[in-house]
């Protein structure tokens, strides 16, 4: 049932969003030469269809909720185990990695990210868990810098100086 | 045509590195296909930034081989682990795993390999024969026809390949809407940038794809607990004997043809081909009740169909510039990086590239037999690789690959946003592929429609009454009705079952 409610909420967001974006499209610059097929023409067609489909999805979900209530099936059947804490921590770690790439550069940020990410997922082999971040970072650095000659983030200030010693 | 093949063969023989790329792509593809959750689309998406360092022919051969390899690779984990490595291998496990449990894992893998190669070669031959004439026909396509083709692409994947037609259509429409962000190609005005200059160039297609497919999959895996199945890791692939293949010739022929046709349809891909082929195999079998217990035809049908669909899906990509599947939609990114626009003019302006792809696909399917025999036991070990190491590694490759595209932090932001968005869509059971296809087809659909209306003096009936455009739009409507009817029947049956059980 929770999933149905979440689904319905998303459909409502889509409907409200399409109304909002329609109002934004009304404020687009006008070009008299393209009257009838101006900048807002295509987005508005799409938004109408999105709104109608969102309403249809809401109606379908309401019917499903009513059927489930009528059948007395309020609890979810089966369903996967979902770890919100782990997801939140993973997302925070990925964002921190993104910030780290720009501030401390690729090598340091990647080693730190891999170290904490493997711990977060619960990898138990301590030795491999310690070696892997360094080995993988070295491999990717070699592949990008030497083999493909593609840029890697260097970071800022002293970290940039440190990165330049390697690439 | 012969000229094209000679030029391409000359190029490939004078640049033997192209064959190395095919081999590397095949290995990468099989590995990504075999590892559950990674899929060939992720494998293709991750390699796109890397192709920047090579020429367009090498880049496209690499990506094409990944696609071929991954389509077979999914069957390895489906047969050995009862977990399809990729969606197109879902049917393969139905008969592959029971056969493996009987101690015939090598035979099951051999059937999958042989069927994949046969289907793949068939699809590649159709690609070689169908793409050039289709491209010539497409040169006479006007804006109305391109608009109709784009509509068919979205509606086909929404109605044929999805559980919920509404959700798939919504996903496709979201992709079309996202494609409107940035500068309007006709007027030059800005749309939905909200004052942010970074959005003037629109939403980067490659960062969005990598975020939606690769990063969101990692987030899903990080947050879920997976059920471990019984593993079979000691395997030695044995190809079926000629008489065993001959005994399945009907199934192989039907599945290869069906797979190729479905692959050619814009927006539909190998997964649909595999499912439809499996159901047809059951329908045509003298012993349908034996399917699901280890029937060789139950392995051969989906495997030949899904590999045939690979070649088929390249036909609209190369000839029309319309992706035939999610993977070919991603491949457009690989072409874009080299400034190449897929479509009918590709056959004229880049004959060497096109015919190299034809030869490359054929070589990849033949090489797959070699790699499949030798590598199955090693790829079975890959399944032992803990996701705790693989998952973070994929995040690193996503970040660095996307950054390397344009040295632009905004691309990484786009990838992160789409990674989160993709995660949300997956949790709510919205399919990702229609959104990506919408993102790819959005500019084509919009410009074509606006031009068509300009040319016809804003007369909509002029678009609908054009024979090709009208036929394609009618097919879109038919596929939508078919999909909606199927969904309605499924939901009514589910509701009745629920009420009966109460």
Are B65 and B262 in contact by the 8 Å Cβ rule? The answer is no
Tell me: the pLDDT tens digits for B201-238?
Answer: 888 877 887 888 778 888 887 776 554 444 555 566 67
Question: Sorting pLDDT into bands at 50, 70 and 90, what band is B157?
Answer: low
pLDDT of residue B90: 76
Is residue A40's pLDDT more than 80? yes
Say which residue, A117 or B244, is predicted with more confidence: A117
What mean pLDDT is predicted for residues B298-318? Answer: 87
Question: Sorting pLDDT into bands at 50, 70 and 90, what band is A55?
Answer: very high
Out of A45-59, B10-24, B323-337, least confident range: B323-337
Are B144 and B469 in contact by the 8 Å Cβ rule? The answer is yes
Structure pTM? 0.76
Q: Which of B187, B407, B409 sits opposite A38 (nearest CB)?
A: B187
Which of A14, A46, A106, A152 has the most B C-beta neighbours within 10 Å, making it the best mutation to test the interface with B?
A46
Are B388 and A121 in contact (CB < 8 Å)? Answer: yes
Are A22 and A46 in contact by the 8 Å Cβ rule? The answer is no
The ipTM assigned to this model is 0.90
**C-beta contacts of B483-486 below 8 A and 24+ residues apart:** B483/B158, B483/B159, B483/B160, B483/B162, B483/B165, B484/B159, B484/B165
Is residue B454's pLDDT more than 80? yes
Whole-Å CA distances, B361 to A97, B122, B394:
38, 11, 27
pLDDT of residue B382: 61
Is residue B155's pLDDT more than 70? yes
- What is the average pLDDT value for chain B, to the nearest integer? 82
Residue A80, chain B, CB below 8 Å: the answer is yes
Out of A80-84, B107-111, B187-191, B198-202, least confident range: A80-84
Q: Where are the domains of chain B?
A: 2-501
pLDDT of residue B268: 63
Phi and psi, residue B191, nearest 5°: -130, 135
What mean pLDDT is predicted for residues B118-142? Answer: 82
Tell me: the pLDDT tens digits for A130-164?
Answer: 899 999 999 888 887 887 677 788 888 888 888 88
Residue tagged 């471990």 (tokens)? B228
Are B18 and B356 in contact by the 8 Å Cβ rule? The answer is yes
3-class secondary structure, B190: strand
How many Å lie between the alpha carbon of B295 and the closest alpha carbon of chain A? Answer: 30
How many Å lie between the alpha carbon of A142 and the closest alpha carbon of chain B? Answer: 13
Q: Cα separation of B67 and B85, whole Å? A: 13
Is residue B491's pLDDT more than 70? yes
**C-beta contacts of B284-292 below 8 A and 24+ residues apart:** B284/B250, B284/B251, B284/B254, B291/B94, B291/B95, B292/B94, B292/B95, B292/B98
Q: Where are the domains of chain A?
A: 2-71, 84-166
pLDDT of residue B379: 64
What mean pLDDT is predicted for residues B342-358? Answer: 81
Residues paired with residue B45 on neighbouring β-strands, in sequence order: none
The dihedral sign for the CA sequence B492, B494, B499, B500 = positive
Are A71 and B389 in contact (CB < 8 Å)? Answer: no
With contacts defined as CB-CB under 8 Å, which chain A residues touch B412?
98, 101
What mean pLDDT is predicted for residues B85-108? Answer: 82
pLDDT of residue B228: 47
Q: Which of A37, A120, A123 sits opposite B453 (nearest CB)?
A: A37
Helices (H), B15-55: 17-34, 39-47
| Chains A, B: CB pairs < 8 Å | 171
How many Å lie between the alpha carbon of B152 and the closest alpha carbon of chain A? Answer: 15
Which of A1, A43, A63, A124 has the most B C-beta neighbours within 10 Å, making it the best mutation to test the interface with B?
A43
With contacts defined as CB-CB under 8 Å, which chain A residues touch B416?
94-95, 98
Tell me: the pLDDT tens digits for B131-148?
Answer: 778 777 776 778 888 888
Q: Cα separation of B185 and B424, whole Å? A: 31
Are B458 and A28 in contact (CB < 8 Å)? Answer: no
pLDDT of residue B374: 72
* Other residues' Cβ atoms within 10 Å of the Cβ of residue B271: 26
Tell me: the pLDDT tens digits for B259-299?
Answer: 888 787 766 677 778 877 887 888 788 877 788 788 899 89
DSSP state, B38? T
Question: Sorting pLDDT into bands at 50, 70 and 90, what band is A106?
Answer: very high
How many Å lie between the alpha carbon of B45 and the closest alpha carbon of chain A? Answer: 16
pLDDT of residue B179: 93
Are B428 and A10 in contact (CB < 8 Å)? Answer: yes
């Amino acid at each position: 049932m929770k999933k149905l409610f979440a689904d319905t909420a998303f459909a409502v967001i889509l409907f409200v969003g399409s109304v909002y974006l329609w109002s934004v499209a009304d404020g687009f610059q006008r070009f008299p030469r393209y009257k009838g097929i101006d900048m807002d023409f295509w987005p508005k067609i799409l938004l109408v269809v999105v709104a109608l489909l969102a309403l249809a999805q809401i109606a379908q979900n309401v019917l499903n909720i009513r059927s489930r209530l009528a059948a007395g099936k309020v609890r979810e059947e089966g369903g996967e185990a979902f770890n919100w804490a782990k997801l939140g921590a993973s997302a925070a770690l990925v964002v921190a990695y993104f910030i780290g790439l720009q501030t401390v550069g690729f090598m340091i940020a990647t080693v730190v990210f891999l170290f904490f990410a493997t711990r977060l997922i619960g990898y138990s082999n301590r030795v491999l868990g310690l070696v892997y971040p360094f080995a993988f970072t070295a491999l990717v650095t070699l592949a990008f810098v030497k083999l493909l000659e593609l840029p890697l983030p260097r970071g800022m200030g002293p970290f940039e100086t440190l990165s330049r010693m390697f690439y | 045509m012969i000229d094209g093949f000679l030029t391409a063969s000359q190029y490939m023989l004078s640049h033997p590195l192209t064959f190395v790329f095919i081999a590397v792509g095949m290995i990468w593809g099989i590995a990504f296909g075999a590892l559950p959750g990674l899929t060939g689309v992720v494998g293709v998406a991750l390699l796109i930034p890397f192709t920047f360092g090579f020429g367009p022919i090498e880049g496209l051969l690499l990506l094409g081989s990944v696609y071929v390899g991954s389509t077979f690779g999914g069957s390895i984990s489906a047969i050995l682990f009862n977990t399809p490595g990729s969606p197109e291998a879902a049917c393969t496990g139905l008969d592959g795993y029971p056969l493996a449990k009987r101690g015939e894992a090598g035979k099951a893998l051999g059937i999958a390999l042989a069927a994949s190669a046969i289907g793949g070669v068939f699809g590649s031959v159709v690609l070689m024969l169908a793409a050039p004439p289709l491209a010539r026909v497409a040169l006479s396509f006007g804006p109305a026809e391109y608009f109709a083709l784009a509509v068919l692409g979205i509606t086909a994947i929404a109605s044929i390949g999805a559980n919920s037609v509404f959700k798939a259509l919504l996903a496709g429409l979201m992709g079309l809407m996202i494609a409107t962000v940035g500068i309007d190609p006709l007027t030059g005005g800005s749309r939905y940038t909200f004052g942010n200059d970074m959005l003037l160039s629109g939403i980067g297609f490659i960062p969005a794809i990598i975020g939606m497919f690769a990063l969101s999959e990692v987030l899903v895996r990080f947050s879920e607990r997976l059920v471990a199945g019984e593993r079979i890791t000691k395997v030695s692939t044995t190809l079926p004997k000629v008489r065993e293949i001959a005994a399945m010739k009907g199934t192989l022929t039907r599945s290869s043809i069906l797979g190729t046709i479905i692959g050619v349809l814009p927006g539909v891909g190998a997964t649909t081909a595999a499912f439809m082929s499996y159901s047809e195999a059951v329908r045509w079998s003298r012993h349908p009740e034996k399917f699901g217990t280890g029937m060789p035809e139950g392995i051969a049908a989906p495997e030949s169909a899904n590999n045939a669909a690979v070649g088929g899906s390249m036909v609209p990509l190369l000839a029309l510039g319309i992706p035939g599947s999610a993977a070919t939609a991603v491949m457009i990114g690989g072409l874009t990086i080299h400034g190449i626009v897929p479509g009918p003019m590709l056959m004229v302006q880049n004959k060497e590239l096109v015919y190299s792809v034809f030869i490359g696909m054929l070589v990849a399917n033949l090489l797959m037999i070699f790699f499949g025999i030798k590598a199955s036991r090693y790829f079975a070990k890959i399944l032992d690789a803990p996701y705790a190491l693989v998952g973070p590694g994929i995040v690193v490759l996503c970040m660095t690959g996307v950054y390397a595209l344009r040295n632009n932090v905004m691309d990484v932001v786009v990838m992160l946003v789409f990674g989160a968005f993709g995660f949300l869509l997956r949790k709510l059971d919205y399919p990702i592929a229609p959104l990506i296809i919408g993102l790819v087809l959005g500019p084509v659909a919009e410009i074509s429609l606006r031009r068509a209306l300009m040319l016809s003096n804003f007369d909509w009936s002029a678009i609908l009454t054009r024979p090709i455009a009208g036929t394609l739009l009618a097919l879109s409507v038919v596929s939508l009705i078919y999909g909606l009817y199927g969904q309605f029947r499924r939901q009514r049956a589910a509701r009745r079952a629920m009420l009966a059980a109460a």
